[in-house]
Structure 1
Amino acid sequence: MAISEYLGSRKHIAGSVCGLLGLALTFAGLAGAYWPVVVAGLYGAGALVAPPQRPAVPRFPTPTEQLEEVRADLGRLGDYLLAVELPSGAAERLDDLMVLLAALLDSDRGAELLARDPERLHALSRAVRQDVPEAVDAYVRTRWWTRLAPGQEPPENHLERQLSALHKELTGLAADLRESEARRQESHTRYLEERGGGTG
């Protein structure tokens, strides 16, 4: 621990308070000729009994902040995709997928639900930060090699299958969120009906 940190620590403050008590005893004539030992001893005792300095708990992003980060990453992903040339079939599937991702990350719709559901938020984050860019990048790299060694399965076939699988996964996620909202609505309906029945 640095000297500046120690001077502001609980141990130093407690020791200083006890050392001042030792000086007060000295001025009262109770410490005698051994007053330096008394003051030092009281300081040491105070420093020993003081609670240890507690390190600050690290601050991690809240779910809402994480959601904002994923939304910003979706914008960066969109910029990247604009620079990639894709065949029409894959481009259409990718457009559908990006629309779905944007809808799920819409701040006025799914944000509150996603902020309460870290697993689904992770699934969206993985799709934006890993699954989509890896699928597109793998297509671009494989397409280059296919031009050198034709006759293999077209790489766009794999890309379209990957994008379809992602779209299916995220559509399921959207359905789960919709079901959660429906359950919450039904629960509120029951609560209001039971409350009304209880006061009638």
Structure 2
Amino acid sequence: MATSRVLGYLESRKNIAGGVCGLLGLVLTFTGAAGAYWPVVVAGLYGAGALVAPPERPEPPAFPDPSAQLDAVREDFGKLGAYLADVDLPPAPRARLTELLAALLEAGLGGRAARPGPRDVHVLSRAVRQDVPEAVDTFVRTRWWTRLSPGTEPPDRHLERQLTLLREEAERLASALHDTEARWQESHTRYLEDRSQ
């Protein structure tokens, strides 16, 4: 522990700045400008250099960028697909939602301009990891209870509405990403037109 602190100080900005100023003190000593008080001059210049040097700052933590987070969401989408294959679910709602989510995940949420932002990844992550599994699980459990008490509202309507809302959210995301990509394309066209003039 103490050894690492000593090594840390030896590599610090303060020690390097102090060492440079201390070398300046030695140059003054060899030129005769420091006189008999050369140890005080060298130590003083070292201390001054160490005091004026900027403090060490810790490196910011390296969090994964949204693209790396999107890879994890893709893996979870594979798990969700396996779960949906095992569940007795009407095929139409399943297909409508999973097709759009799959398209967004496979396309990497757009191209060069439409790189996934944290909000985009959050929307997809929440849909894949929470909203769709919860909607399907609730449907399956409610359907079981509905069989025991006929005449109640069928859970299919709620599932249909939930999946419609989730699909609308995914479509809004796709539309926003498309708009970003279209603006980038227009901007690039203007750049090329301006460059050719």
TM-score by length of 2: 0.70
2: CA distance, partners of 1:49 / 1:81: 63
Q: CA deviation at 1:12?
A: 0.5
Contact 1:67 1:115 in 2 (8 A): no
Other structure's SS at 1:105 match: helix
Question: Which residue number corresponds to residue 20 of structure 1?
Answer: 23
CA pair 122-112 structure 1, distance change in 2 beyond 3 A: farther
What is the number of residues matched between the two proteins?
A: 190
Other structure's SS at 1:37 match: helix
Question: Which residue number corresponds to residue 99 of structure 1?
Answer: 99
In the TM superposition, what whole-angstrom CA distance separates every residue of 1:111-149 from its partner, at most 9, and x where no partner exists?
Answer: 4454166544442232223221222233355556x3797
CA pair 130-10 structure 1, distance change in 2 beyond 3 A: same
Mapped pair 1:67 → 2:67: no
**Match runs of 1:51-200 below 5 Å:** 51-83=54-86, 85-87=87-89, 89=90, 91-107=91-107, 110-112=110-112, 114-115=114-115, 119-140=119-140, 142=142, 146=145, 150=149, 153-178=153-178, 187=186, 191=190
User: Amino acid of the residue matched to residue 88 of structure 2?
Assistant: L
2: CA distance, partners of 1:162 / 1:86: 17
TM-score by length of 1: 0.70
User: Amino acid of the residue matched to residue 20 of structure 1?
Assistant: L
2: CA distance, partners of 1:168 / 1:176: 12
Identical aligned residues as a percent: 54
Contact 1:120 1:173 in 2 (8 A): yes
Mapped pair 1:6 → 2:9: yes
In the TM superposition, what whole-angstrom CA distance separates every residue of 1:42-84 from its partner, at most 9, and x where no partner exists?
Answer: 211110111222332333433433433332332232233334x
1: CA distance, partners of 2:174 / 2:40: 73
Q: CA deviation at 1:176?
A: 4.5
- Structure 1: unaligned runs, 5 residues or longer: none
Q: CA deviation at 1:6?
A: 1.5
Contact 1:105 1:111 in 2 (8 A): no
CA pair 37-142 structure 1, distance change in 2 beyond 3 A: farther
The runs of 4+ residues in structure 1 deviating greater than 6 Å are none
1: CA distance, partners of 2:190 / 2:47: 62
Contact 1:64 1:111 in 2 (8 A): no
